Amino acid sequence: LGQQPWLMDFARFETVDPVVLATARATSYWDFLVKAKAADAAPTAQQRGFLAFLNHELLPGKRPHELLLVQALLDGQSLTRPEFRELLRSQDLADDVRTVLSSERVLSYRFFTQQETTKYGGAGVVERTGERYRLSEAFLAEWEADETFRAHVRDAIETGLYLARHRHGWRSELQQGQRYSRKDVCRLLGWESNQQGVIFGYKIDAATQTCPIFITYHKDDDVSASTKYEDELLDPQTVRWYTRSRKTLQSVDERRIAAEEVPLHVFAKKDDAEGTDFFYLGQAAPREAEQTQMPGGSGKMLDVVTMKLDLEAPLDDSLYEYFLRPTSPDASM
Domains of the chain are 7-166 (no CATH), 179-324 (2.30.280)
The reported pLDDT for the residue numbered 331 is: 44
Cα separation, 206 vs 218, in Å, equals 30
Cα separation, 55 vs 47, in Å, equals 12
Cα separation, 288 vs 8, in Å, equals 49
3-state secondary structure at position 277: coil
Backbone angles phi, psi at 122, to 5 degrees: 85, -40
Per-residue confidence in pLDDT tens, the chain, 333 aa: 778 999 999 999 998 999 999 999 999 999 999 999 999 899 999 999 999 999 999 999 999 999 999 999 999 998 999 999 999 999 999 999 999 999 999 999 999 999 999 999 999 999 999 999 999 999 999 999 999 999 999 999 999 999 999 999 998 889 999 999 999 999 999 999 999 999 989 999 999 999 999 999 876 555 555 456 789 999 999 999 999 999 999 999 999 999 999 999 999 999 888 889 999 999 999 999 999 999 887 778 999 999 999 999 999 999 999 998 876 555 444
**CA distances in angstroms from 302 to 4, 62, 83, 100, listed in the order given:** 60, 39, 54, 43
Element (H, E) at 166: helix 147-166
The reported pLDDT for the residue numbered 70 is: 98
Classify strands 211-216 and 264-269 as parallel, antiparallel or unpaired: parallel
Cα separation, 61 vs 117, in Å, equals 20
Q: Are 217 and 323 in contact (CB under 8 A)?
A: yes
Q: What is the dihedral of CA 193, 196, 197, 202, to 10 degrees?
A: 110
List CB contacts of 13: < 8 A, sequence separation 6 or more. Answer: none
